[in-house]
Amino acid sequence: MHEEQTHREEHHLVPYAVYGWVWIALVACTTLTVAAKYADLQHLAIFAALLIATVKAGLVLLYFMHVRFEKPVVASHAEWCSRLTVDGTVRGGVTLTALACSRLHAAQAS
pTM: 0.57
Local structure of 42: helix, strand or coil: coil
Q: What are phi and psi of 91, to 5 degrees?
A: -65, -40
Span 40-84, pLDDT tens digits:
888 788 788 888 888 898 888 888 877 777 676 666 666 667 777
Longest dimension (CA), the chain: 76
- Contact between 36 and 52 under an 8 Å Cβ cutoff? The reply is yes
Span 23-32, pLDDT tens digits:
999 999 999 9
How many angstroms separate the Cα of 39 from the Cα of each of 9, 19, 25, 77, 96?
A: 45, 30, 20, 36, 18
